Structure 1
Amino acid sequence: MNKTISAFILIGLLLLTGCQQTTEEQPERAEESEETNPEQENNQNQDTPEKSEEQLVQEKADKVISLIKAKNAEELTNYVHQEKGVLFSPYAHIEKDAIAIKKDELVNSFQSKDKQTWGTRDGSGEPIELTPLEYFNEFIYDANYAEADEVVLNPTEPRGNTIKNIQDFFPDAHVVEYYVKGTEENENMDWKALNLVFEKDSTGEWKLVAVVHDQWTI
């Protein structure tokens, strides 16, 4: 009887020791499986190509359009060129005296009730004297550009009969145009477009330097 009990005890100890060894080995195997294979990591990096400058600008432009729609001037300043600020032009032909607002002045400027001269009106030649908010409603977000009919990167063809001279002012820029087509009742003459102009800053990051409105002119 004592021999039988001793045998059972011995078998139990052997089984217990085996379980402990198996438990101790499992974390090591788990750690081995979590180790990154250098070849696999290189393949993953190769499968994810870096974005081109054009893609980066397009992504920033889409974000800027959404911020403009939301009238979120505070966050918009994060995309504005530190040295140049952002220039505003009511038409595709930028005048030499076009207003440019510095980055740190942008938020407060659109709260101002003082009228400024933003250029001259097409046809009449009268000065465009508007508060910043009035200018915003008439010459910045005057159409649903966030859902534009066409979005064109670096457009080369003019939409209307106005000479587009953005590249004369910003020769190293990328331009993203948001175009909203006109209506049939107006023979499609009431189309609108907004051009967002980006240039690199001193750190090599693409920043907003101009918002150029476009429409049919006489």
Structure 2
Amino acid sequence: MRRMYPLLAAVLLAVLLAGCGAKSNTTGASDVPNTLPSAGSPDIVPTVGEGGEATHTSGGAEAPSEQLSAKETQLKETAQEVVEYLRERDLNSLVPFIDPKLGLRFSPYSHVNKDTDLVFTPDTLPSFKDATKQVWGTNDGSGDPIELSFRDYYEKFVYNKDFADAPNISVNKLLGKGNTEFNVTDAYPNASYVEYYFPGSDKDLGGMDWQSLILVFDPEGDDWRLTGIMHGQWTI
């Protein structure tokens, strides 16, 4: 019987050692996740780092900014050419952009008035040397006629600020809004427009001193033809 004691002790020791080993393995396995997060996980959004490598950030991704269509991009590029010619007072370069059928309409405010707006075809556009005064519409507020030479009208209602360097440019989205009804698409159903906008800077006026230049175009095949030049400002 005494010979059995050492044998029993050895068996018990082996059982105890086996139990400790199993417990150690279970604890180590608990530190390893069952599954790794994937790019398809709702909380993981793949992004591109500075080095071009894919990284992951928590939370939702920002919505992409609105992109211009190919046609709108072409429109914006055409408008940029036109506004540069307006800046340079280069009427000879401006003439080829004018729609030969619809002509070029000058609106002193951001409202098409078919009764009072003056419209010129490419071959009747006045020059800066022409001192003849014409009535271009009526002044906002007073209602007095806008009777000016082409040069004076241009300086007051076309390029009274350096719009080619405007801080805000929009395509088919009106930025300058006041009390005047913007009715371009009613007057020209197929038209698109580009606005060059300067926000107001006088705090005493509460931002109402904003100014904008709106160039209106009609499509002609793969090109855009200039049909309107509008001046935007706060109106009563």
Same fold (TM over 0.5): yes
Cα deviation, 1:26-46, whole Å, max 9, x if unaligned, reads xxxxxxxxxxxxxxxxxxxxx
* Pairing partner for 1:85 from 103, 110, 133: 103
Q: Within 5 Å, give how 1:61-100 maps onto structure 2.
A: 61-97=79-115, 98-100=117-119
Please tell me whether residue 160 in structure 1 is matched to residue 164 in structure 2.
Answer: no
Which of these residues, 202, 206, 214, is aligned with residue 187 of structure 1? Answer: 206
| Amino-acid identity (%) | 37
* Counterpart Cα distance in 2 of 1:158 and 1:192: 7
Whole-Å separation in 2 of the counterparts to 1:216 and 1:54: 27
Distance 1:184 1:158 in 2: 15
Which segments of 5 or more consecutive residues in structure 1 lack a partner in the other structure? 1-50
AA aligned to 2:214 is: N
For residues 158 and 193 of structure 1, do their structure 2 counterparts lie closer, same or farther at Cα, with a shift above 3 Å needed? closer
2:233 match: 215
CA distance, structure 2, for counterparts of residue 113 and residue 77 of structure 1: 20
User: AA paired with 2:161?
Assistant: A
Residues 111-122 of structure 1: pairs in structure 2 closer than 5 A: 111-122=129-140
Distance 1:146 1:167 in 2: 24
TM-fit CA distance, 1:184:
2.5
- State the Cα deviation string for residues 56-95 of structure 1 (Å, max 9, x = none): 1100001100100100000011111111121000001111
The two structures, once aligned, show a CA RMSD in angstroms of 1.5
The answer to whether the aligner puts 1:200 opposite 2:200 as a matched pair is: no
**TM-superposed deviation, 1:205:** 2.2
Higher helix share: 1
* Alignment-derived partner of residue 18 in structure 1: none
Which structure has the greater CA radius of gyration? Answer: 2
Runs of 5+ consecutive residues of structure 2 not aligned to the other structure: 1-68
**Larger relative contact order (CA 8 Å, sep ≥ 6):** 1
Moved over 4 A (4+): none
